Structure 1
Amino acid sequence: MAYFAWQRTKAQTDRHVRCTRSAVKSFVKIRKRTQSAEIIPGFGDRRFTVVSLEPEDNGDVEKIQRVLEPLYETALSQRRVCLTQLFGVGRSPIPTLIYHDAVVDGWIFMEQYKKTPIVYSYLFCKFWNSIIDILEDAAFQKLSIPVSDDASYWTFNSRTGSFQYDVISLTLSDEDEPGLYLVQPPPLSRNCNPLLDSNGIDSNKVIRAVPDFLQLLSSCASNTPRKLRHHNILTFGTVVDLEEPGILAYFPSIPSPVWSCEAPIGTHDVVAKYSKSVPSLVDLTFVKNNNKWKLNVHFSLRLSEDYCQRLQTAFLAQSFNLHPGDPEDLLFIDELDFVLAGTFTSDLSSCNPPKYLHVPPLSPDWIDNMPCLCWPPNARLFYWSFDCRGRMEIPEEDWEKYGIPNLEVKTFVGSYWTKLVYEAAEEYLHTKYDLGGQQFANEHGYPILVKGDPHAAKIQTSLNTIMSGKEKAIKDLSGEGKQSKAPEPNSHIEFQAGRIEQASIVEISD
């Protein structure tokens, strides 16, 4: 016979248990104790985690068991790396869960590295990828279990070095509807897994495991819903201050952004995609027949993915000389996003008469060789029509009469990075590059950020213009392509905005 021996490793916490999934919710208060354990004899150094759920009222034990019972089979049978693995359960005198391996609360594990920005940022990206993996897992989707992006409902397995979703922890909460990410992060390579040792994880381990660490950091961009009060035009490829008017810097030779329609990651009641025959028509496919369908669709005008990734990394490396204040006020204009959300009580495409959703694509104008968009846009984002080609528009005041729901539009502009990401980038640049970022950009072939406003009539270059990130002979800017001598000291070269591919950081004259 094998026996469990365990010691307490974490202070007790008070949590609420949801005891019913009906419209009227009932809660009981419990004390959750987490302890480490090992089996003796015969199992060597095999580790386990024991979670005890002690209700304040002993009469609530049956309620707890009733809530957890449907999850036991899933948690016990699913031998999947993305799920916290349940070894067994104890039913008396109090509900007790025994997990494989030594696992800790995901949020607590990440928080201990908050003062080591490189490690924390790496763990955040690893956690982010774990969420995407489980959302795209077809077998897990069939279980109809909600997924949360709250790290406190995830565990970290120190043996495998992976985040695992605890399907039971979410049940032991009063969370109504988990939030989810809208974007897909770049995947981490399979061999990118610097494991824990007695000293934990240090920055050098992460940098060795992730050669393109700054590129990984740039993927941690967020979209801001904050209003651009001081800007009436969006110029793609530029950097602005959310609190001040004007453009701080820009990347020359920006391609035209592309308009697209896509669903956020995860399962959805309504699948939305653009029609192949009508540019503005959004085909809606109602997936679940439950008389209530939730729509969540993402429209964006953004630079192509590969180009955007390069520019984001180039910006993050060169951002430290742009702003003396809070770096979170810096906004890189690389995309404009609209999230359209609402709840349907009928399939409008199958009604009589059918109703069709139209979202006309936005396209930028070109000003001074830069793609620009009036802000806020003059046109409406969407409308409904009785005609699939959009010629018979339904007046907005009649939408309710025809069973058309109110759809909420959330707008997000550009990309910004948190202070912690900037701290990680700074820590990384200090390893072998200058803090200005040009050395990193030159070595890796990234575009050079130009200080100033591309809409100025003319700009003057500094003495040594750097082209394509390397020192080259200065070419004749007239377009003839002839090589010329280097300019004399104090001389200036004038050219039209947006014509130079690569340049050292220059200032725009007033």
Structure 2
Amino acid sequence: MKAPATYGFKQSLVKVGTIQRLTPSPCHPKKVLAFLTKQLALLPPPSHSTARPLEMSFTGCSRVSIKGKNTFNHVEGNQINGTVHGNVIFNAGQEVVRRTKYDQFHEVILGDVILEKELHSSDFDWKLKHWKVLARHKTQRTIYTVEIVDRTTKFTAMTYEGEDAKRVWEEDFERFSCTKNLGSFQLFGINQSSIPMLIFHNELIPLQHFYKSSFWSSVYLTCLVENNGWSHTSVWMDMRGSLCGGAEGPYAYWIPSDADGSLIVPTKADMLKDNICFQFFCKIRSRVDDSILWCAHYSRGSIFLDDLLLGTADDPRSKNPDDPVWNSTTYSYLCDLQQDPFYHLLMNIISELQFDTVYSPSMEAVARWPQGAGSLWELDQSEQRGLVDETVLDGGLTHFMLDLTHWQNVHLEASYNNWKLQSAWLSQSSWVFGALNVTEGEEHFFLIDLPSLTIESTLHEYDGLTAFFNLCDGKPPIKETPPAPSPIYLFLHPFPKSLSELITWRCQPYFWSFDKTGQSGMSEEECEKWGLPVLTSRIIGHFWVPQWPTYTYTALQDWQEACDFDPATSDWARSRRYPEFEVVSQRCFEEVVDIQEKETSSSWWEAIVGSGISAFGF
């Protein structure tokens, strides 16, 4: 048989009957077209015989043929796409396929998603950042466990419905599509229908569905979320038994506190078991001390003093509207000490409660902050205006020099370091209870938690308006105040240590003086003469009565023993740089005495044995 004719063109091989390979060398497209047209014209005309039709075969392709008027596009090397219709070749521009960020994930159609179980649903009305409203979104986001057709494993899907569903979906997509690690949701696929979805690998379970709060697991969870930057409600468990962070889910309660964010803890869900996480913490010991004390501090609850006093033989409360406490400006700040707003605790019962003291359920002082350890009152330097050169004198006075450039705007803020006092108590409560032979009822011991105090200048008259009206009335203008001798000192009286001292202190917390030692203060007339600002004090916040559950005291005792500290001593507290408390009373506590025996004195202050409470009035 005669071999088919062969035509060559710059190393390209064309065989009549079968084109085995077409690899044109780079050349001008018009020359290629002219050459091929010329060569094809030399071919014999098509016949109606049963001969096999022309077939074309290209390298790099499989199971592809061109028959009749069908078309085929092929690009090899640095060439321009060509389209062949029968015996004519057409050149076209190269088609570019555009990739998008969505192409990295599976597109799952809505009909292939089978909802199995709802895990959480939340409504979005506002978008907040740093507690500021950035935008308003009306969207409902629901999280489901789902199945997908032709897939053997289960998935977790988030659906979006509402006016801004697409926008919220897009924001969540941006968040989760850029995250790929074991500690986060891993995005599998998307759906961009009218009910858009994000679909995640694995069947994920929110923490709330399986977690029960405890002290040690609370310490662990706080360390976990702080280290990973998760929120309190975004903790989930995957099917491997590992905890991960993801979307906001249902609220799971654990003791909210702070922790060392640099502390790396395992993510296995077994760490939620108290014995396992306790053993882990024992390996790192002092590195977790602060986190444990923070958790202990925030495990506190609160009690109302009227609940304690109701155990006495008579009701030590007053309904009398003529009672001076009704008219006290301080009473509004004390209302959180009692539960029943229609009654008023007699101030002579509670006025001598000390701020630095731990009390028994019978309101008996049992331990206190030592006198030589310094005051727990602190001035906030960042809030200080109009005063400079703070100095604390031996007698307890604190003096400042008046800043004559800002003397009309004086502001001070003082706060009681409740945190320091309460942490010091918790770190040595075991030995105090041991010294007092307390074996039960620890949850009823309490302290007083104080609000902050501010002292600031106020204007008692509008000098500018006074001068204006005097001018209108034909009166001589007010003479300018002569410059005062300098320096001028402001002296603060010692900060109060009890409720009764607080009420007295608020009436006159300061005095002005030219004397640096404060031996002599200016009279009201002198202050007015030199135009010194009048200062008033305010209470910012409320009083309340914190208590701690028995399990907190037990956990702290166990921790001391695990760290080789004797809980019968204050060693652990002193290792934390807290002073040892003074034990006030080692007697057994008497809850009630016979009030009838005290009626002749008409006094309430002896209703509680050993309280040392004296009468106080306004």
Q: Give 1 or 2 for the bigger CA radius of gyration.
A: 2
TM-score band, normalised by the shorter chain? 0.3 to 0.5
- Higher helix fraction (1 or 2): 2
TM-score by length of 2: 0.41
